[in-house]
Amino acid sequence: MNLFKVLSHAIKSVFRRDQVDADMIEEMRCHREAQIESNLAAGLTPTEATRAANRQFGRIDAIAEEGREARGFAWLNHLQQDLRYGLKMLLKHKGFTVVAVMTLGLGLSVNITIFSLVDILFFQPLEVKDPHRLMVMTRDDPKNQLSSSISWADYEDYRDNVPGLENAIASLLRPVHLSWAGQQAQRNWVSNVSSSYFKTLGARAHIGRLWLPGEGEKTGIDPIMVLSFSYWRDRLGSDANVVGRTVAVNGQTFEVIGVAAEKFNGDQWGIGAAGWVPATMIPALYHWGETVFTDRTWSSFRVSGYLAPGYDIERVGAELAVVDQRIASLPGAGSMDGVVTRLVSESRSRPDPSVSGFLPLAAAVFLALGLMILLIACANVANLLFARAASRQRELGIRAAVGASRGRLTRQLLTESLLLAVIAGVVGWGLSYVAAAGLENLSPGGDVPIATEAVEGSPWTMVFAVAMSLLAGVVTGLLPALRATRVDLQQVIKGGVCGRGARRQWMRNTLVVSQIAFCVIVLVAGGLFVRSLQQAARMDLGFSPENLAMASLDLDLQGYSHEHGFAFLDQLTENLAALPGVESVAYGNVLPLGNSPGLRAVADAAAAKLDESGRREGEIQAASNIVDVNFIATMQMGLLRGRLFNEFDTLDSPRVVIVNEALAEKLWPGEDPLDHQLIMRSGEPMEVIGVVRTGKYVMISESPRPAYLEAYAQAYNAPITLFVRTYNEPAQILPGMRAILQRLDRDLPIFNAQTMAEHLRTTPFGLMPLRMAAFISGAQGIVGLLLAIMGVYAVVAYSVSQRTREIGIRLALGAERRDVFQIVVAGGLRLIVIGLGGGLVVSLGLSHVLAGLLVGLDPLDLPVFGGVTVGLTVVSLLACYIPARRAMAVDPAVTLKYE
């Protein structure tokens, strides 16, 4: 049959069903009449003829039903019927519908929210050519607990000597001050990229052009810039004449040659830079000298490239190792002991390759927890359906009696639960927007530009939502439907449904036990995340973060000379200190737990030099900072030995340094650090004048890290962060700080103007990831608990209502009401204890997994496990209490009479 006929047939059987049915009935009628006629012709009396025809024909309606099936597309008819019927049922039982939809909706929204995060983090391809082949290079260095980037010189070696990595490109994201003619300078981030960058990534220009061959290859001769589409649109109002305009980048004149295509955001996921300049312009832009291209310890470039055909990551890793070996033997190379350079696929490197091992595990944990919540919700609704199936026995029995098959009835019930689930999916989708708004408050703060395009949802989330809703519908509805349709006609017609309660109760008990078990797991996970957040928040940062306001600025980018800069800073601190409510003011070069960790190689100045690069025996990586004389006091770092910096530490006096305990312990174990001198790769030996306690420098989760402080007067370094210690709420001082900065230099861009508490909360290196985890898992825990309690209550209440007669008899036979109460509660308690036991065992396994992820987490955290056990027991018992009270109130006379 051709397609047209199939379609017309289908349409006819669905939309003109009444006519088709009538047709069929008419045909049967004709047939019967013909039969009667023929019987008459054979000599039967009219009555006999009719009766014989009827007997032979059987039940017309049964034939009609079979006929409908045979016509095909019966399922479409059925679906239509089922949907209409299901909707009618849902509308009729509004209370049930609302509870079921909200329950499933909550469960689904948790899953949709988590999946949308996972989707953004792992599945959204980067807008580049062949995104799935794009690899990012990363170096694991056991010495600094951090994976590091690559130096330009190393990049060139990899680019030229690793055949498994095609078209390696390098980029360096840096803040700059962009100023357009006639406008105030703005702080923005640009990516400094290697010459083949755009071509390799397959980027196109929206207007103008990108690098031409030969551009960006020789140092300092190509002052050209390509703008990103979003910067061009948002900051320049989509100026069509922008190509050919000039812009001052850190005071250097650059020509805009083009705007990149709308979606192109470079090689780094989630980053929305203002534009791209050739890496060859780095010396001109940042005054670093051309050594940035030769110094192998200057490892700041992000290196990406495409996996060559026929290669896998391991094979390229082997080639990288060969190059690393050669690099290690070169003079001037950093220490390569234990260093492993490897490739990570771009989609696995988000948000940063350094956490690429950690995130998939975290995502899996959260997805699993989300699924458990959905299962709790499904079990709840399944329970409701069980209860309802009992009350629908009659209806189903009658339908079965008039010829509906079991499959047909099951389909009907399944359609109803699917309908519920789909409505719940819509509700869940809406709720996930609420959750997303909550998560937005937790997104990383700080100075680095986020590409907003990257954090938008995708169609995959929609697909996921639909799939999960359907799954939930089937999971919820299948068992109750199968059970409900196993109808015993005799029993239904007789009017009583009894004797089968035990098995159904068993089913419901199993559901509630698993609910409680899942709930325990979700609650324990939530509790562990919250504990870990608490512990991280209590961690000794090495300074006191309360009542501290801050703001960052970069005088270099604004073209200040050293003398001018010193004068500006003196004036600035003087003015700030004069603000009311200010206790003290200080500034330092590195912001703790900020974007620029400031790691440097240092050694005991007395140790033997290994080569002319300045590498010495026993060299270690330490977090550095350059601070003014008030810094240690203002930050309340706690000087353990020696003295603070003072105004006599100048360029003309001996160089001095203050170290932390961890550094002293590492370089001079058991000795007095004040007897020693510290030295960097380049520079003079610095006399250790003091020791401060060890804090947190790069990441909140780091183990004790060596660190040292230089005196600002001896090591001017322009990018600084101001720290203002206040007597009261530090946020109140921020407007005053801004006003003063504005007055002293109207054009100076300021960033990170916030309180220290806010910085710690939002920085991705501080509490942000933990807060995010605690928020999600905490919300999961609350939803799970709510659902599980509902489940316990429903099951206990149902069992009481089923046992009213039994209770009545017991009471009539002289049982105390107290005994009845105990029986009911004991029944509930049994389920709770079994569920708790099972849940706790699984949670123990989970907490061992989490302990690998979380800061200072004891996998046997007593408050969490104890709290969850006690809390869940108490709340579940409360859920039993109300039905138990109802059982106590049973009046034996009434119950028995009714039965």
Contact residues: other proteins, CB under 8 A: 1, 5, 9, 23-24, 26-28, 30-31, 33-35, 37-38, 56-58, 62-63, 66-67, 69-72
State the nearest-atom distance from the C-beta of 519 to other proteins, in Å.
51
Q: Name the residue nearer to other proteins (CB basis): 58 or 95.
A: 58
Q: Is 272 helix (H, G, I), strand (E, B) or coil?
A: coil
For tokens 């069992």, name the residue: 799
Q: Name the residue nearer to other proteins (CB basis): 4 or 337.
A: 4
Q: Name the residue nearer to other proteins (CB basis): 28 or 750.
A: 28
Q: Which helix (H) or strand (E) holds 554?
A: strand 548-554
State the nearest-atom distance from the C-beta of 11 to other proteins, in Å.
14
Q: Name the residue nearer to other proteins (CB basis): 4 or 241.
A: 4
Give the total residue count for the chain. Answer: 899
Q: Can you tell me the distance from the alpha carbon of 671 to that of 663, in angstroms, rounded to the nearest whole number?
A: 12
Q: Name the residue nearer to other proteins (CB basis): 69 or 858.
A: 69
State the nearest-atom distance from the C-beta of 14 to other proteins, in Å.
14
State the nearest-atom distance from the C-beta of 397 to other proteins, in Å.
24
Q: Can you tell me the distance from the alpha carbon of 124 to that of 53, in angstroms, rounded to the nearest whole number?
A: 69
727 and 583 in contact (C-beta within 8 Å)? yes
DSSP class per residue in 721-786: EEEEEESS-GGGGHHHHHHHHHHH-TT---EEEEEHHHHHHH-TTTTHHHHHHHHHHHHHHHHHHH
State the nearest-atom distance from the C-beta of 44 to other proteins, in Å.
16
State the nearest-atom distance from the C-beta of 8 to other proteins, in Å.
12
Give the count of beta carbons closer than 10 Å to the beta carbon of residue 210: 21
- Residue 452 is classified by DSSP as G
The alpha helices in 539-653, defined as continuous H runs, are: 562-577, 631-635
Beta-carbon contacts of 870 under 8 Å, excluding residues fewer than 6 positions away, are none
| Cα dist from 13 to 241, 274, 288, 559, 726, whole Å | 63, 61, 79, 81, 79
Which of 859, 286, 215 lies closest to 528 in space, CA to CA? Answer: 859
State the nearest-atom distance from the C-beta of 46 to other proteins, in Å.
17
| Cα dist from 741 to 179, 188, 564, 570, 758, whole Å | 18, 19, 15, 12, 21
Q: Name the residue nearer to other proteins (CB basis): 30 or 489.
A: 30
Q: Is 20 helix (H, G, I), strand (E, B) or coil?
A: helix
State the nearest-atom distance from the C-beta of 41 to other proteins, in Å.
10
Give the count of beta carbons closer than 10 Å to the beta carbon of residue 706: 23
State the nearest-atom distance from the C-beta of 492 to other proteins, in Å.
26
| Cα dist from 284 to 94, 173, 222, 446, 613, whole Å | 71, 15, 10, 26, 24
For tokens 């001769």, name the residue: 221
Residue 742 backbone dihedrals phi, psi, to 5 degrees: -60, -40
For the record, the structure tokens of 722 come out as: 């101001």
Q: Name the residue nearer to other proteins (CB basis): 21 or 217.
A: 21
Q: Is 477 helix (H, G, I), strand (E, B) or coil?
A: helix
State the nearest-atom distance from the C-beta of 67 to other proteins, in Å.
5
Which of 271, 260, 182, 183 lies closest to 225 in space, CA to CA? Answer: 260
State the nearest-atom distance from the C-beta of 819 to other proteins, in Å.
59
State the nearest-atom distance from the C-beta of 12 to other proteins, in Å.
11
| Cα dist from 594 to 446, 671, 737, 766, whole Å | 8, 32, 20, 8
Q: Name the residue nearer to other proteins (CB basis): 9 or 666.
A: 9
Which of 218, 217, 227, 234 lies closest to 266 in space, CA to CA? Answer: 227
Give the count of beta carbons closer than 10 Å to the beta carbon of residue 785: 22
Considering Cα of 435, then 441, then 445, then 449, what sign does the dihedral take? positive
State the nearest-atom distance from the C-beta of 58 to other proteins, in Å.
5
Q: Name the residue nearer to other proteins (CB basis): 38 or 325.
A: 38
Burial class (CB in 10 A: 0-12, 13-18, 19+), 146: middle
Q: Name the residue nearer to other proteins (CB basis): 20 or 207.
A: 20
Q: Name the residue nearer to other proteins (CB basis): 62 or 401.
A: 62
State the nearest-atom distance from the C-beta of 71 to other proteins, in Å.
5
How many Cα neighbours within 13 Å face the side chain of 389? 30
Q: Name the residue nearer to other proteins (CB basis): 72 or 863.
A: 72
State the nearest-atom distance from the C-beta of 408 to other proteins, in Å.
16
State the nearest-atom distance from the C-beta of 403 to other proteins, in Å.
12
Q: Name the residue nearer to other proteins (CB basis): 69 or 806.
A: 69
| Cα dist from 677 to 620, 659, 718, whole Å | 14, 10, 25
State the nearest-atom distance from the C-beta of 52 to other proteins, in Å.
13
The alpha helices in 442-500, defined as continuous H runs, are: 459-484, 489-494
Q: Name the residue nearer to other proteins (CB basis): 33 or 671.
A: 33
The alpha helices in 597-750, defined as continuous H runs, are: 631-635, 661-667, 734-744
Q: Name the residue nearer to other proteins (CB basis): 52 or 367.
A: 52
Q: Name the residue nearer to other proteins (CB basis): 9 or 388.
A: 9
Q: Name the residue nearer to other proteins (CB basis): 29 or 394.
A: 29
Q: Name the residue nearer to other proteins (CB basis): 59 or 503.
A: 59
Torsion of CA 135, 137, 142, 146, to 10 degrees: -90
State the nearest-atom distance from the C-beta of 396 to other proteins, in Å.
25
Residue 677, beta-bridge partner list: 687
485 and 396 in contact (C-beta within 8 Å)? yes
Give the Cα-Cα-Cα angle 394, 399, 402 (nearest 5 degrees).
Answer: 125
